[in-house]
């Protein structure tokens, strides 16, 4: 085996000494204790020494966990928790009796309980679930929250195989393949059953995932299952069964065969803070994709694309998050073009994405560090940098390279890139080197000359918008843009028009066309009059539509217009949806329209409904900027 020497960790957001030891396998054995709202059990890491330098301790990441015992090679070990260092937690330092030789391995077993301060777990009481019968719990470990479940090397620069043993009175799923002996349901008397899973493909700690609750299962494809509450199962099955296998085959045609065996979806309770989380085997998905019209299931195309980008090939640190999300957004839109029948569908999605990029840049400011493609996260919380920027600016960069090189040539590079880095982690400089090597002059002279034009420093380090105009195909958005112009003239006394709105304006439109229209209205240089906004909501039936992508944007239009009556609809939506994509702008809208007291009251009422990550972001980002006492 070749000698491995790592002088300096690439990830500034971990306290672990993964430059000395690297986790190769992790076994977790947890009891899910719903009454105490905690996990209790043992995590056992196998760690390999990867440097000749003598190391007399192993350092792992922890955050708000209770450690009861530590053993090294089955022998009790001395350990200590260092003082907490925000936002990264407390380093667990385990003393070694003797150094470990290069490439030798040791086992480190830790008895641990989670605590009420755990940021990775959400516990729902029966009253918070749809049928009010059973409690529910689920994990969300990205970006640096796995350390709040168990001590680990909580960095995407380290990948390990996993096995899971979970004891619960309710059905369990995890980010591994279930053992054939797993029970399908809990026992009649409520006693815990044992569920086992294994993940043979190495994954970083942030992809550790478990969930347990009143779950039912249905097939949505030859290698895919949906899991959700029993009352929601049939509508989730209908929503997902038409396209899931199509997405899988399209992704395979772009890269190479799917590596994880099964692709399943867990549709979570509405407090889940993201659109989806790409946990292997089981994508964790927001229920807002279940809109009754199959208009929002492209979220699955995105999460499925993570099976290659992010899960197999991972960013080495969150400073290079665009390598996960930019690539995934690129693959997602290529899949859309294949499934829906043309690149205009990709450009349609990209236009919506450009608006999301614009909103994020406006929120941070044009010169903010977090609007760069490669960002500095030293001493910072990666969650603070979470926005659409790595997704959309990363996509635009890859789209630029595709246009520069030609789609046929770029398509040759895609499987090469994912083969070279399969099972590994990389940074932006590795990506650059891989691209330039593939298109080197002796192999692809024409492409090599084209790549000489790339201003890498500007793409990587320039804040704000990309310095390149994508020139997207607007065929599918043109009707929405025309209607927005009509509304601008209709509501602007300096630009009169004889046109008047009717329901026919949007008859036959897709939800995404309505999204584009509403976002154009949000971008007007002055808001609509309140009466006009109210009329728009009624005539186009967008105020309380089940499709939250549409209703949330309309509510932003109405709040910007100063339609005070709409705050009732806003607070109602904030009480039943916990996805941050919708929650954060809706709270911002309430604050901006002067409804700060209503916003605070809404938060106080629903704060236990929100996931801890979402709750923190609302307090930090919104109420922290108003000068109002934080809830």
- CA–CA separation, 267 vs 218, rounded Å? 12
| In contact, 223 and 299? CB cutoff 8 Å | no
Residue 415 labeled ligand binder: no
Provide CB contacts within 8 A for 391, sequence distance 6+: 322, 325, 326, 328, 329, 353, 356
Please indicate if the annotation marks 423 as binding a ligand: no
Which position among 18, 88, 330, 391 bears the catalytic label?
391
DSSP state of 621: I
Give the per-residue SS3 of 155-183: CCCCCEEEEEEEEECCCEEECCEECCCCC
Residue 274 marked as a ligand binder = yes
Q: Is 399 labelled a binding residue?
A: no
Cα–Cα distance, 37 to 122 (Å, whole number): 9
Q: How far apart are CA 311 and CA 202, in angstroms?
A: 9
**Interacting residues of 561 by C-beta distance below 8 A, sequence separation 6+:** 527, 528, 529, 530, 532, 533
Residue 141 labelled as part of a binding site? yes
Distance CA 125, CA 310 (A): 33
Q: Which residue has the tokens 């043993």?
A: 165
* Residues whose CB is less than 8 angstroms from the CB of residue 545 and which lie 6 or more positions away in sequence, other chains included: 551
Q: Is 159 annotated as a binding residue?
A: no
Any known ligand binding at 140? Answer: yes
> 134 labelled as ligand-binding?
no
> 387 CB contacts (<8 Å, ≥6 apart)?
360, 363, 364, 370
Q: Among this protein's residues, is 391 annotated catalytic?
A: yes
Secondary element (H or E) of residue 30: strand 21-33
Annotated binding residue at 273? yes
**In this structure, are residues 208 and 230 in contact, taking their beta carbons and an 8 Å threshold?**
no
Farthest-apart Cα atoms in the chain, separation: 85
Pair 240, 297: CB distance under 8 Å: yes
Each residue of 374-383: b (16+ CB within 10 Å) or e? bbebeebbbb
Beta strands in 34-104 (DSSP E): 38-49, 57-62, 66-72, 75-76, 79-81, 90-95
Token digits of residue 517: 């229209």
CB 95 within 8 A of CB 58: no
Contacts of 424 (CB under 8 A, 6+ apart): 159, 313, 314
Side-chain half-sphere CA neighbours of 630 within 13 A? 10
The owner of tokens 């809109």 is 291
- To the question of whether residue 580 is assigned a binding role by annotation, the answer is yes
Question: Which of the residues 303, 319, 447, 549 is marked catalytic?
Answer: 303
Half-sphere exposure of 134 (CA within 13 A, CB side): 19
Return the active site residues. Answer: 303, 391
Binding residues for a peptide: 140-142, 273-278, 579-581
Binding residues for Zn(2+): 302, 306, 325
Binding residues: 140-142, 273-278, 302, 306, 325, 579-581
């Amino acid at each position: 085996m070749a000698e491995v020497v790592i002088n300096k960790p690439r990830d500034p957001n971990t306290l672990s000494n993964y430059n000395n030891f690297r986790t190769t396998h992790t076994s977790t054995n947890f009891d899910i204790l719903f009454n105490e709202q905690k996990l209790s059990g043992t995590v056992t890491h196998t760690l390999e020494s990867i440097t000749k330098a003598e190391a007399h301790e192993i350092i792992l990441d922890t955050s708000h966990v209770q450690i009861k015992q530590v053993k090294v090679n089955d022998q009790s070990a001395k350990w200590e928790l260092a003082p907490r260092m925000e936002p990264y937690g407390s380093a667990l330092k385990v003393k070694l009796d003797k150094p470990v030789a290069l490439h030798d391995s040791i086992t480190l077993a830790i008895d641990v309980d989670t605590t009420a301060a755990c940021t990775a777990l959400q516990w729902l009481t029966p009253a918070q679930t749809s049928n009010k019968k059973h409690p529910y719990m689920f994990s969300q470990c990205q970006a640096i929250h796995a350390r709040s479940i168990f001590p680990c090397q909580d960095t995407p620069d380290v990948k390990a195989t996993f096995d899971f043993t979970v004891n619960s009175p309710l059905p369990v799923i995890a980010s591994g393949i279930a053992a054939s002996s797993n029970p399908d349901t809990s026992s009649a008397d409520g006693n815990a059953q044992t569920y086992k899973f294994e993940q043979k493909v190495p994954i970083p700690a942030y992809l550790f995932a478990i969930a347990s609750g009143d779950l039912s299962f249905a097939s949505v494809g030859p290698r895919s299952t949906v899991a959700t509450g029993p009352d929601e199962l049939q509508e989730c099955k209908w929503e997902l069964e038409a396209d899931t296998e199509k997405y899988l085959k399209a992704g395979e045609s772009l890269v190479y065969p799917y590596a994880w065996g099964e692709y399943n979806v867990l549709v979570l309770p509405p407090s889940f803070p993201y659109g989806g989380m790409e946990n292997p085997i089981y994508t964790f998905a927001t229920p807002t994709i279940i809109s009754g019209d199959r208009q929002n299931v492209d979220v699955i195309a995105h999460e499925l694309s993570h099976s290659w980008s992010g899960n197999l090939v991972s960013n080495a640190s969150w400073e290079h998050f665009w390598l996960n999300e930019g690539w995934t957004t690129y693959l997602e839109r290529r899949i859309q073009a294949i499934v829906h029948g043309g690149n205009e569908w990709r450009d349609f999605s990209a236009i919506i994405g450009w608006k999301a990029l614009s909103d994020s840049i406006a929120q941070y400011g044009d010169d903010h560090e977090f609007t760069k493609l490669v960002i500095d996260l030293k001493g910072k919380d990666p969650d603070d940098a979470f926005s659409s920027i790595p997704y959309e600016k990363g996509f635009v960069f890859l789209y630029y390279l595709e246009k520069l090189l030609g789609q046929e040539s770029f398509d040759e590079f895609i499987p090469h890139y994912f083969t070279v880095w399969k099972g590994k982690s990389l940074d932006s400089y590795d990506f650059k080197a891989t691209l330039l090597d593939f298109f080197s002059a002796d192999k692809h002279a024409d492409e090599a000359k084209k790549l000489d034009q790339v201003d890498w420093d500007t793409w990587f380090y320039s804040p704000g918008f990309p310095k390149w105009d994508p020139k997207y195909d607007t065929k599918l958005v043109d009707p929405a843009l025309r209607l927005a112009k009509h509304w601008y003239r209709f509501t602007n006394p300096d630009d009169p028009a004889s046109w008047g709105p009717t329901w026919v304006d949007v008859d036959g439109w897709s939800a995404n066309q309505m999204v584009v229209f509403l976002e154009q209205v949000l971008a007007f240089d002055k808001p609509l009059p309140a009466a006009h906004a109210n009329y728009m909501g009624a005539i186009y039936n967008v105020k309380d539509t089940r499709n939250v992508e549409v209703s949330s944007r309309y509510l932003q239009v109405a709040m910007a217009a100063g339609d005070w009556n709409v705050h009732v609809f806003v607070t109602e939506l904030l009480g039943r949806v916990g996805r941050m994509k919708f929650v954060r702008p809706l709270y911002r809208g309430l604050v901006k329209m002067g409804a700060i007291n209503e916003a605070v009251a809404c938060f106080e009422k629903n704060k236990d409904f929100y996931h801890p990550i979402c709750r923190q972001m609302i307090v930090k980002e919104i109420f922290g900027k108003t000068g109002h006492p934080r809830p």
